[in-house]
Amino acid sequence: MLRVVVLWACVAASLGKDLDTAKEQYKKWNTALAGKMIEKDAAKVAALYSTEANFLSYLPLSSPDHIKSTQTVTDYFVDFVKKNPSAPTTTSDFFLKFDDNSFLHSGMVDVLMGDLAPVNKQTTTKARFTYVWKRKDDADDWKIAHHHESVLPAKGRRSGSDLKEAAEEAAPFGAFALAAKAAALPASRRKDAVTAQAEFKKWNDALKSNRWDTQVKPLYISETDKLSVLPQDSPDHIKDLAALEKYFDTFLKKNPNCIITDELVQAYNDNKIFVHSGLYTCMLGEMSKQVATASRFTFVWKDTNTDTTKDPAWRIVHHHSSVVPVPPCT
């Protein structure tokens, strides 16, 4: 009995230390946002993002682009500083350690943005966030490898921004196009992309089945305190299967069918975890009246099979889906 208590104490201490690391890195980003934004120094904020080749994925709060380079991150923040954002206040969060050199941090925040002079006209934007932080070796130099921010959806609204262009863009893009993109990747990452595409197809087929218990539910991890879902159609931060079932009970009635239009896959923990993120078009509505919704996605899949002699058993531990922000008028 004493051994069990000591073991749990060690686990709790380790988790506390890991969570402290996540909060420390998030504070670093917040400090850069509040301080460097006032100084209008976008490059110093962008310096927190990974420079690893073909390994950065950023889905911003106020841009429809899928950003994949630090230069484009800088370009985005050059424009974003004009909104005078203040450091966000976290209202809910979730932490999941991938390995000693990477972790997921997700949740909900309140962000102040708007004119500061001659009169302070800042207003609060309620938003959600997903960060994946990664460091090289054991150096204390953490970089953001993936970042997905989205405005909090209104409760009970119909999902999506109905864009004709989204349907036209998705039309020629399907399994063949995805396979072609995967084939063009370096061999070291090709298998990861193929795996991600296969698991996404399982998820999309499960949605089309309209069966929660037998098709959708088995794709999400069932362990307590291991799940984080930020849905496209709900303002809730879902952390358990019971709440997720309530969400899908409504969402599945919209007959969703999603088609990836852009993606990036990142593998962690010796390929036992991968992050699949990008853009997809979701068809929603009655089958004869479906409309296209331009959206973004982040899936974090984990191999839950502890027997290395058997095939992986992939489960979703984090899922963040959001409508593509409408670009500002020019």
Residue-wise pLDDT for 75-113, tens only, equals 999 888 788 887 678 889 899 999 999 999 999 999 888
- Angle formed at CA 70 by CA 65 and CA 74, multiple of 5 degrees: 75
Euclidean distance between CA atoms 259 and 72, whole angstroms? 25
For residue 149, count other CB atoms closer than 10 A to its CB.
23
pLDDT reported for residue 3: 44
pLDDT reported for residue 172: 43
Residue 203: both structure tokens together:
């998820």
pLDDT reported for residue 166: 41
Euclidean distance between CA atoms 278 and 80, whole angstroms? 21
**Options 3.10.450.50, 3.40.50.1460, 2.60.40.1180, 3.30.420.40; CATH of 2-151:** 3.10.450.50
User: What pLDDT, in 10s, does the model give residues 65-85?
Assistant: 999 999 999 999 988 878 888
Per DSSP bridges, beta strands 142-151 and 57-59 are parallel
Share of the chain residues as helix, strand and coil, in percent rounded to the nearest 5: 35, 30, 35
pLDDT reported for residue 228: 97
pLDDT reported for residue 308: 82
In the chain, list all ranges with CATH 3.10.450.50.
2-151, 164-323
pLDDT reported for residue 275: 97
pLDDT reported for residue 132: 97
Report pTM.
0.85
pLDDT reported for residue 76: 93
Name the residue with tokens 């899908």: 248
User: Average pLDDT by consecutive 10-residue portion of the chain (330 residues)?
Assistant: 39 56 83 62 87 93 94 91 78 92 94 75 90 86 96 64 43 51 58 91 96 97 94 95 96 94 94 96 88 95 91 96 76
pLDDT reported for residue 154: 77
Q: Are 261 and 173 in contact (CB under 8 A)?
A: yes
pLDDT reported for residue 174: 52
Q: Are 310 and 324 in contact (CB under 8 A)?
A: no
pLDDT reported for residue 9: 40
Q: Which CATH architecture has domain 164-323?
A: Roll (3.10)
Residue 122: HSE in the Cβ half-sphere, 13 Å Cα cutoff: 16
